[in-house]
Chain A
């Protein structure tokens, strides 16, 4: 299978339309009255946060071809950053604490990246995991960093802007629906930004590194620096997600830095389909949803999840997004409008 067919970089119109419908449905959800509305709104907010996290990993995994098994470190670090800078007496301003937490995660990624981008393949996976485990145990074993119990974040960040809102909140993140929409907007912004990056000269360079790093170097690209930049950017965006997670749940613990979350993110990206960011979103939602379903069935939910992912990888190597595209094509072909189908055939050439 060629890498182009594995990466639906250009989303066919039919798929764009379907994803757009999904986004509209998501945005409309708070208006639909269902039992346990609050619970579902929080659950969807968390899914969106994990979708941002999965997209940040996709920049490395799907676009650049770097499989990081330590990406949760940057997610967790930014969450801890919010926990540490939120005073016991009141909220901290969103407007500087979010950029600070993301920059902190980015800085950590820059430092760790400086070492890991020199390695390739299996060594890259191992070294990213080793760094993340170091950070995990630093927090886990250190009482002053919250230890294994973690830390509470007692106040959601404040959105007041001095001199503009006169001390009042611009929008109230303590309100679950407001937080839901705030997360939704951040998700759209991160998606739009990463899609833009994907087709920028920088993004094309990263794709070139994935396909043939040796040739990129022979053509004059200092691939190490491009990989380091991607690693740093991915770390900062993972930080945005981790910050939101800490604010949403009001709690951070070492699990947010841990191996399991890193592995889940990899599975989300594979499940949804790599290298186009839309797949990462679909994968995050699907993974979280299935996890809830499987947890209701058995406490050994990992067994079911593992089987499901194996099935998807075998039956739909391009992930749920690729599967969706094939189904839409078949429907489209039946309706004798074949532009999307023609596109797929071209990719398989």
Chain B
């Protein structure tokens, strides 16, 4: 499998009034690579994710997904073109079962989605896809549970399962480890490693152990700007990053 560049952001900027929440950011996401974006709170990481996914239109800059310019397109169109994302704040269908959450995600990829009279639960390829995603995310034992009744960590896994069920090529994961216990976090890191080889991934995360275990490339943002970008080793050695961010933890 080639390690082709699947997503490219060039000079992406988002201004809210006078504030540039994201300022002239460029990055690329390659298949079989995980690109971690780190930085202190308010650095613009989530805004960047929202720009790439189409939840927010950029003020300036260009975003291409594969060969397609997706700048300013709707999130549903960008999703159909192969980008999947998870949310920092758990964003699932709480009253539905785990199964229905993932099944709905899988259903979005088929022309059946517009059908009125077939039984939604009996579309075989969709069911199989949903089952695979649930299994991959390690939620098989929770399939029949209502999503509001499972633990926080499991809800985070469900986020990932739903994203995977849409069969994206590019994955944007916004703090998938947020609020997780140590054991849960370890499981999530394993899950992310397992799905890395088929996807181009961007990871926004505060858990530095996880970031350095997973990342092939790191981008450090402070105040909406990229202050450093490179391999994990280079970033670790970067004095500016040490001062701005990593140093705080040491």
Contacts and interface: CB of A to CB of B under 8 A. Distances in A.
Contact of A197 (B55, B105, B116): B116
A30 interface: no
Interface string A205-227: 10110011011111111110000
B95 A349 contact: no
Interface in B100-135: 100, 103-105, 107-110, 112-121, 123
A204 B91 CA distance: 18
B208 interface: no
Contact of B107 (A196, A201, A212): A201
A199 interface: yes
A285 B129 CA distance: 43
Contact of A4 (B105, B109, B114, B146): B146
A200 B126 CA distance: 13
Contacts of A229: 114
Contact of B117 (A5, A197, A204, A212): A197
A200 B53 contact: no
Nearest to A205: B113
Contacts, number: 104
Given A211-B94, A217-B75, A2 B117 contact: no
A196 B85 CA distance: 32
Interface residues of A, number: 31
- Which interface residue of A201, A211, A221, A346 has the most chain B CB atoms within 10 A? A201
- Which interface residue of B53, B93, B149 has the most chain A CB atoms within 10 A? B93
Contact of B115 (A5, A202, A217, A347): A202
B225 interface: no
A245 B5 CA distance: 62
Interface residues of B, number: 41
A311 interface: no
B215 interface: no
A317 interface: no
Contact of B113 (A5, A221, A349): A221
Interface in A317-349: 346-347, 349
B80 A201 contact: no
A221 B76 contact: yes
Nearest to A5: B95
Contacts of A4: 95-96, 146
Contact of A202 (B116, B148, B166): B116
B76 A217 contact: yes
A196 B103 CA distance: 18
B112 to A, nearest CB: 5
Contact of B79 (A202, A205, A220): A220
A216 B75 CA distance: 10
A27 interface: no
A22 to B, nearest CB: 26
B173 to A, nearest CB: 13
B92 interface: yes
A2 B148 contact: yes
Given A200-B116, A203-B120, A208-B104, A3 B80 contact: no
B74 interface: yes
A2 B94 contact: yes
B176 to A, nearest CB: 15
Nearest to A346: B146
In order of increasing CB-CB distance, the 10 nearest A-B pairs are A220-B79, A4-B95, A3-B95, A2-B95, A220-B108, A220-B80, A204-B120, A349-B149, A201-B120, A219-B108
10 contacts: A2-B146, A197-B116, A200-B115, A200-B119, A201-B110, A211-B96, A212-B91, A218-B79, A222-B76, A349-B148
Interface of A: 2-5, 196-197, 199-205, 207-208, 211-212, 214-223, 229, 346-347, 349
Interface of B: 53, 55, 74-77, 79-80, 85, 87, 91-96, 100, 103-105, 107-110, 112-121, 123, 145-146, 148-149, 162, 166
Given A200-B115, A200-B117, 18 more contacts: A2-B95, A2-B146, A4-B96, A4-B146, A196-B116, A196-B117, A200-B116, A201-B114, A201-B120, A203-B120, A204-B104, A204-B107, A212-B92, A215-B93, A217-B76, A218-B85, A218-B87, A229-B114
